[in-house]
Chain A
Amino acid sequence: MSVTIKDVEHISDLARLEFSEQEKEKFTHQLNDILKYVEKLNELDTSNVEPLSHVIELQNIFRADKVKPSIPTEEALKNAPAKTEEFFKVPKVIG
């Protein structure tokens, strides 16, 4: 599998990133290098191997649904780049 500039454009769209033409070329080249390297994994037959998503045995943790103090609105808005009253302010969503 080899990555083209078109793929890089598609991925950057998914990742909400944008690049100059020069950066796109560089990334295409570097991603291909890395992907070529990771294709090493195809040497291994893993058809009977269970995927490992967590390294220690985890169990779902339940707790009582009790109201506890949480971060006050003022604190939660403290780092907002723009705010109005008690809301985060962003550019319009629908044109």
Chain B
Amino acid sequence: MRVVRDLEWQGPVPAGEGEYGEFFAAAAEGRLLIQQCPQCGHRQHYPRALCTACAAVPEWIEASGTGTVYTYTIVRQYGVPAFAELPYVLAMVDLPEGVRMFGGLTGVDPEAVEIGMPVSAYARTYDDDHAMVFWEPA
């Protein structure tokens, strides 16, 4: 996964407590992680301290970084200063690994976004060691 160094970000950031922090730290190294249960095989995202299917301790696996848009919206009004640059696209992305991920979808004309379109992940750092995952057309 491509990593964009962007330390200018002034908006809200993830707190990164517990497993969340491991996810965002891996993203800063270009790895898109999801969790898989060693006991029952269940895969999940967001990361947690237990498997939601069987309560075992999940392990990390690396996802391919590809996906398709499950649904999306174009945000045209939002009163938060950090998001003054409108419109922008937010999407739920289905990963071939079997989980769904939420994130910003960039590098595309908002009007051209369609459900089912293939996308790929990239990471954008928000501090020296952590990055958020975004999506762009594949």
| A and B associate in one complex | no
Contact residues of A with B, CB < 8 Å? none
Which residues in B have some Cβ–Cβ distance to A below 8 Å?
Answer: none
